[in-house]
Amino acid sequence: MAFELDGRTYEVDEEGYLADLSEWNAEVAAYMAKEDDCDLDENHWEVINFLREYYDEYQIAPAVRVLTKAIGKKLGKDKGNSKYLYELFPYGPAKQACKYAGLPKPTGCV
């Protein structure tokens, strides 16, 4: 599967995750979000950028439990909880945010 954006073709897997994460850019994230009827604001970007940094450091996309704890440590308790993260990403914070971040589906995804 693939989609086209600004004259470029992006390969994705059957669940919509980007095949080659080096192709990722902010427009790709915004496009994927729009397909899900989701407008990315700065709170979404905070999580997406966090995930990209996490992947860069550990080479894995974190499970939702690990993401929640790590966000809490970095951005504060009011953001490091499932309610806040599910409001931003109703399809599941790790799954949905990882997709927009161009990462593979999280390891240990529940």
Partner 1 sequence: MSETKKFMYVNRHAPYGTVYALEGLEVVLIGAAFEQDVSMAFIGDGVFQLKQGQDTADSDMKNFSPAYRALGDYEVNCLYVERESLEERGLNEDDLMPLTWEDEDDDWAEKKSIHIVSRAQLSDLLEEQDVILNF
Q: Using an 8 Å Cβ cutoff, are 110 and 63 in contact?
A: yes
| Residue whose tokens read 């504060």 | 76
Site string for partner 1, 14-53 (x = CB under 8 A): ----------------------------------------
Q: Is 109 helix (H, G, I), strand (E, B) or coil?
A: coil
Candidates 12, 30, 63, 109; catalytic one: 109
Question: Please, which residue, 2 or 110, has the CB nearer to partner 1?
Answer: 110
Q: Using an 8 Å Cβ cutoff, are 107 and 67 in contact?
A: no
Q: Is 109 a catalytic residue?
A: yes
For residue 66, how far is the Cα from the chain centroid?
Answer: 14
**Residues between 64 and 83 with contacts to partner 1, criterion CB under 8 A:** 65-66, 69-70
Distance CA 14, CA 81 (A): 29
Q: Which one of residues 41, 57, 78, 83 is an interface residue with partner 1 (CB under 8 A)?
A: 57
Q: Which one of residues 30, 40, 60, 75 is an interface residue with partner 1 (CB under 8 A)?
A: 60
Distance CA 89, CA 98 (A): 10
Q: Would you please indicate which residues are annotated as catalytic (active-site) residues?
A: 109
* Residues near partner 1, by CB under 8 A: 57-60, 62-63, 65-66, 69-70, 107-108, 110
